[in-house]
Structure 1
Amino acid sequence: MRDHNYFVYILTNIKRSVLYTGVTNDLSARLEEHKNGSKQTSFTSRYKCYYLVYFEHHQYIDQAIDREKEIKGWSRAKKDALISAENKDWKFLNDED
């Protein structure tokens, strides 16, 4: 059986004032797209959300999408708590994925 890799991730800006939640099957490539993408009107471009502060791995895409939707529905405080539980200092994980 083939292993499947899907990631739910949260990005922030340099001031950590904005959060973006997404899902992908290639985290490194997706981070590069966010940072160097040509869509100047995208949320991540507009708010400069390029810094990975949280991610989780899922084997199945349905689970990853459901989790992304769940997190997107949360309050900012709940998202902050999720990030802080795994990344207490909110270090940028871009080079660690």
Structure 2
Amino acid sequence: MNFFVYILRCSNGAYYVGSHRGQDVETRLHQHNEGADPKAFTYRYRPVELLWSCQFDDPTDMVAFEQQLKGWSRKKKEAFMRSDWAELKQLSKSRTAPAIHEKGRFYLSTQGGLSTRSS
């Protein structure tokens, strides 16, 4: 089983962050566009376009990163999708941000990319 976190752009321009357990993220994209669940947020804003996805080995990491992304601002998500680590770091500076040692968080490595530990 594969585990994915993904970001979609909806027809109204909103970003949707989701996760999927399955063979590939394209299957989930198809389900969103077919309107498989009329109660889903994306149902009203079809078609949706896949902007970014990442595969995880561990479902716990998948859920933790999905929740982290859902809490980010639009600008922060855009910087992340562009791999603009400098802007992402700047956008992450906040007095109300969780402590860097908080369990279940992902961090930017010094080379860019994700890590489950702060460096």
TM-score when scaled to structure 2? 0.61
C-alpha contact (below 8 Å) 1:20/1:49 kept by paired residues: no
Q: Which residue of 2 aligns with 1:75?
A: 73
For the residue of structure 2 that corresponds to 1:85, the secondary structure is: coil
List 4+ stretches of structure 1 deviating above 2 A: 37-41
Shift of 1:49: 5.3
Q: Which residue of 1 aligns with 2:8?
A: 11
Instruction: State the Cα RMSD in Å.
Output: 1.9
Q: Any idea what the Cα deviations from partners look like across 1:32-80, whole Å, max 9, x if unmatched?
A: 1101024334211112252000001100000000000000001111011
C-alpha contact (below 8 Å) 2:11/2:45 kept by paired residues: no
**How far apart, CA to CA, are the structure 2 residues paired with 1:23 and 1:35?**
15
Instruction: Please say which structure displays the higher CA radius of gyration.
Output: 2
Q: Report which structure shows greater RCO (CA 8 Å, sep ≥6).
A: 1
Larger helix share, 1 or 2: 1
Which residue type is aligned with residue 44 of structure 2? R
Q: How many equivalent pairs are there?
A: 82
TM-score when scaled to structure 1? 0.74
**How far apart, CA to CA, are the structure 2 residues paired with 1:83 and 1:29?**
21
Aligned-residue sequence identity (percent) comes to: 32
The gaps in structure 1 that reach 5 residues or longer are 87-97
